[in-house]
Structure 1
Amino acid sequence: MSQEKPPVVTPVRVVIAFCLVAPFVAMLWVGSYARTEPVLIGIPFFYWYQMLWVVLSTALTMLAYRLWHRDQRARASRDGGAER
């Protein structure tokens, strides 16, 4: 009797990947933020945009971490507690 394994790529894992890749894409696409306008509290866009991504990256990494653990717990309970 063959037991069907759950798919490796699931919607939750796609969201996790997006959360982890988005900051890299945002920072590597320098042309999108290589300017001085708009200025926020006297700080040119180039600088405050990057500082904003520090906070956003932290939030996205925390979200990815929580989603990963939730996914792992769901898989373990579905597989009868087997470790992967």
Structure 2
Amino acid sequence: MTAEHDHNTTPPANKRLLALAVVLLLLPIVAILWVSSYARTGPELGGVPFFFWYQFLWVFLCAGATWSAYRIVLRARPHRPMTDGPAQEVDGDGSDR
């Protein structure tokens, strides 16, 4: 049994939360593209120059920012089904049954 969803009464997305998600996604991009902010050798961390460990640190920070943005978008947007009807069954080769 499927529930009927009225798309006209679905609440709008929270624009402030969506803006926060955009900022979280732009932060790693700006931090990595602004090369002059980290184009130096010191301070070293375990003998590794700053230039390298800074970029490596952003691998983990970017993953955290992306996950956080995903969770924020889920909260900001109301649940809205992709189709009005029941889901179609798909074979393993990608074709409809």
Does the TM-score normalized on the shorter chain lie above 0.5?
A: yes
Q: Which has the larger radius of gyration?
A: 2
The residue type equivalent to 1:26 in the other structure is A
Q: 1:71 aligns with which of 69, 73, 76?
A: 76
Q: 1:50 aligns with which of 22, 33, 55?
A: 55
Runs of 4+ in 1 over 3 A off after TM superposition: none
* Cα distance in 1 for residues equivalent to 2:17 and 2:32: 24
By how many angstroms is 1:37 displaced? 0.4
By how many angstroms is 1:42 displaced? 0.5
TM-score by length of 2: 0.67
Q: Which one has the bigger helix percentage?
A: 1
Name the % identity: 42
Q: How does 1:22-37 map to 2 (within 5 A)?
A: 22-37=27-42
Specify every segment of 5 or more residues in structure 1 that has no aligned partner in the other structure, as ranges. none
The residue type equivalent to 2:70 in the other structure is Y
C-alpha contact (below 8 Å) 2:15/2:76 kept by paired residues: no
Higher relative contact order (CA 8 A, sep 6+): 2
